[in-house]
Amino acid sequence: EAGVAQSPRYKIIEKRQSVAFWCNPISGHATLYWYQQILGQGPKLLIQFQNNGVVDDSQLPKDRFSAERLKGVDSTLKIQPAKLEDSAVYLCASSPQRSYEQYFGPGTRLTVT
């Protein structure tokens, strides 16, 4: 079974630029999560999708971050415009329906200069 795929693995941009990350969850997993992991901290949930609907986006900075999950499969997370404090690893995870376990992708390391 293929794992959660993310791209790119690394990205360096200047502040005020835009960036997009892509995630392809494990086939058949209904739930998809985006986490932000700042260096030295644990992951923080940004947004959770159930199929293609948003379940929780309470910690997503909506003035600059957006996410979509078209057709309930893969997902993109966008930052526009980026700030220095957005430098972090962005993790995508997926989970089967009604399951406690989340499967994580390798993450995208974003550096904003």
Partner 1 sequence: AQTVTQSQPEMSVQEAETVTLSCTYDTSESDYYLFWYKQPPSRQMILVIRQEAYKQQNATENRFSVNFQKAAKSFSLKISDSQLGDAAMYFCAYRRSTGANSKLTFGKGITLSVRP
**Residue 7 contacts partner 1 per CB under 8 A:** no
Given the DSSP bridges, would you call strands 108-112 and 10-13 parallel, antiparallel or unpaired? parallel
Please report how many Cα atoms fall inside a 13 Å half-sphere around the Cα of residue 35, on the Cβ side: 18
Q: Of 55 and 84, which CB lies nearer to partner 1 in the complex structure?
A: 55
Please state the φ and ψ torsions of residue 39, each to the nearest 5 degrees: -50, 130
The verdict on whether omega for the bond into residue 8 sits within 30 degrees of 0, i.e. cis, is yes
Map residues 10-49 to x or -, x wherever contact with partner 1 holds by CB under 8 A.
--------------------xx-x------xxxxxx--x-
Residues that bind partner 1 (CB under 8 A): 3-4, 30-31, 33, 40-45, 48, 50, 55-56, 91, 95, 97-102, 104-107
